[in-house]
Amino acid sequence: MSIHPHRRRVVVTQRFFDQATCDFLTAHHCEPVVAEPPPGKGDGDLSEAVLRELLADAEGWIVGHAHVTDSLLLALPRLKVVARRGVGYERVDVEAVHRRGKVATIAIGGNDACVADHALALMLAVSHRLREGQIRLDAGDWSIPMGTDLYRKTVGIVGLGRIGRGVVQRLRGFEADVLVCTPTPDEAYCRANGVRQVDIDTLLRESDVVSLHAPLTPETRFMVDASAIEKMKPSAIVINTARGGLVNDRDLLAALEAGRLQGAGLDVFVSESDPAYHGVSRALIALPQVVATPHAGASTREGLDRTNLIAARSVVDVLDGATPPAACVIADGRTVSHSSKKGET
């Protein structure tokens, strides 16, 4: 296909960007450039200097976990839109996006189902001690590690967004007693779905499984720490498929090593954003009662295809002068006057 005279360069700094979404961008007068990070790395590991070089001529950027900083945006005057292939945006400087007159979006609705599936997978894997059984078999030991049911257990859901509600839906098949704790109560939803809305202390005290689905904010950071764990049953399981900073991994490690909890299923770690916790992450991953995955909850073929396309549609909307769906927009600085931007450094 010949290059359109008004073709806009869109740089993708994530792996697993499918051809159908590239074709969508091409059909909408964009030139997709997939700049995959090195093996074993994500775009969050790329330096700002490397990102500046990759994005020098880009009008759109489809990003994973890279830090979107004010200094980076200032160095990229052609860039109009930053589209996260995901829903968390704690690494995006929202104020800087506004200040620099750009747009930032998230891919709402693309990975809800696969992350909810992943949370259930971790619940089952930890409660049935699948990893411990595998370790024993690898050592030639056919003794059976005694597991516990998820069936008719009490499961506490912290956060009742799309993923939290997906977990609630999946737990119906297990006849679980579901507790939810959310800052925005929804009594009608709870009545319709047979779940109990409780405060966090009640949830921690009564739950056999505590599954985290809250955003990471200053208020939620380390919400599961030593004091929270002290309120939980010694037989309880912690599941975190949301954000690493929700759990103080150092306190979780101490509790697991002391037998204060049954186990944990972890897809996210504090060390993803704080290198000082790398040793803690390695120690957690080494424990037989921990089932760990590398922030992979959203990484199914179908889920990534959905989030790729949602991000690409947001990019096209902005480059066409339109507005993406409201739920996807986290910052829109296009109303900032040219004069006010020009005077800033």
Q: Give the pLDDT confidence of 73-111 residue by residue, as tens digits.
A: 999 999 999 999 988 898 999 999 999 999 999 999 999
Going by C-alpha positions, the residue among 117, 64, 83 that lies closest to residue 297 is 117
Q: How confident is the model at residue 7 (pLDDT cuts 50, 70, 90)?
A: confident
pLDDT at 51 over 80: yes
Q: How confident is the model at residue 42 (pLDDT cuts 50, 70, 90)?
A: confident
Q: What is residue 88's predicted lDDT score, i.e. its pLDDT?
A: 84
Residue ranges, comma separated, of all CATH 3.40.50.720 domains in the chain are 8-110+300-342, 112-292
Q: What is residue 209's predicted lDDT score, i.e. its pLDDT?
A: 98
Q: Provide the b/e sequence for 274-298 (b: ≥16 CB within 10 Å).
A: eeebeebbebbeebebbbbbebebb
Q: How confident is the model at residue 58 (pLDDT cuts 50, 70, 90)?
A: very high
How far is residue 81's CA from residue 102's CA, in Å, rounded to a whole number?
6
Q: How confident is the model at residue 341 (pLDDT cuts 50, 70, 90)?
A: very low
Q: How far out from the chain centre does Cα 109 lie? A: 12
The architecture of the domain spanning 8-110+300-342 is 3-Layer(aba) Sandwich (3.40)
Instruction: State the fold for domain 112-292.
Output: Rossmann fold (3.40.50)
Q: Tell me the pairing of strands 263-266 and 290-292.
A: parallel
Structure tokens at 52: 């500046």
pLDDT at 38 over 90: no
Q: What is residue 224's predicted lDDT score, i.e. its pLDDT?
A: 98
Average pLDDT of the residues of the chain: 93
Active site residues: 243, 272, 295
